[in-house]
Amino acid sequence: MQSPFLKISDEKISDNEYRKIEKKEKLQLTLMGKIPSLGFDNLIADFIYLNFIQYYGDTKAREITGYELLPQQFETIVNRDPRFVSAYFLLEPATTLFAGKPQVSAKLITQALEKVKPTQTLAYQLWLYKGILQILFLNDLEGAKYSYTMAADWARQENTESSLNSALLAESMVKFLQKEPDNRKITGSAWLTIFLNARDEQTREIAREEINKLGGKIEVKGNFITVKFPES
């Protein structure tokens, strides 16, 4: 079964044609969520993820039809292959920031965390993503502290140089959340994490703009990138 998006040529496509393609893709996505897997759940998830990449990256089409399919793509991948951790690093910010569905993202990340093992490569980052959602969109600082604590725990279980460094950063974030009274700095720090971890320029630019709205500025000093706020 081939996605309609894979058939698009460089020829000019009308707005109406984009809408027809969107409807076909939605029908196909719904079908992929319902058909028996016959042991091929991971292949179905891979197929949907490839469609997501094409869909998300088609700027012209998204200007016409928006990002309506992102939450369904995300949900279908989680249902089919919850251990597909690397896919979430694009699916979550895309669904949160472009489809405007942070609650959906939080629910699906939580669902995936129930299936993923702590030692799976980069699984700890799902807790970091959940913590950011809790700070920026869910108004749940206590939940965020727990998420960062779990991120540190899982990162230590992965036990690589990179994960151990991430564990230290997550532990620092817990202390920061416990002591920092300025909500701007907490929010700015969460947006900086999105900026640093972004896999695409669209997400990075949104994070930069949100930091600017808070009155902050991203500063680079050597190997360190921070958010600087003017003294009140």
End of a domain among 82, 99, 124?
Answer: 82
Nearest to residue 73, comparing CAs of 53, 100, 58, 43? 53
In a domain, 30, yes or no: yes
On whether residue 7 sits in a domain, the answer given is yes
Give 37's DSSP letter: -
Structural domain boundaries, residue 66: 1-82
Look at the chain and report how many structural domains it folds into.
Answer: 2
Question: Which pTM does this prediction carry?
Answer: 0.87
Least confident of 88-92, 108-112, 176-180, 222-226: 222-226
Check residue 232 and give its pLDDT: 55
- What integer is the mean pLDDT of 135-144? 95
Cα 177-179-180 angle, rounded to 5 deg: 70
In a domain, 27, yes or no: yes
pLDDT given for residue 1 in this prediction? 38
End residue of a domain, out of 82, 111, 142: 82
**Of 29, 27, 13, 12, nearest to 76 (Cα)?**
29
Q: Is residue 230 part of a domain?
A: yes
The two tokens of residue 100 are: 């405007």
Long-range contacts of 68-72 (CB under 8 A, 24+ apart): 68/22, 68/26, 68/99, 69/22, 69/25, 69/26, 69/29, 70/94, 70/95, 70/98, 70/99, 70/101, 71/95, 71/99, 71/101, 71/104, 72/26, 72/29, 72/30, 72/33
Query: Do residues 118 and 157 make contact, with C-beta atoms less than 8 angstroms apart?
Result: yes
Give the distance, in angstroms, between the CA of residue 88 and the centroid of all CA atoms in the same chain: 5
Per residue in 58-106, pLDDT (tens digit) is 999 999 999 999 999 999 999 999 999 999 999 999 999 999 999 999 9
Confirm whether 23 is domain-assigned: yes
Tens of pLDDT, residue by residue over 143-187, are 999 999 999 999 999 999 999 999 999 999 999 999 987 889 999
What residues have CB less than 8 Å from 118, skipping those under 6 apart?
Answer: 124, 153, 154, 157, 158
| pLDDT of amino acid 37 | 81
Q: Is the dihedral of CA 152, 154, 158, 163 positive or negative?
A: negative
Residue 136 lies in a domain: no
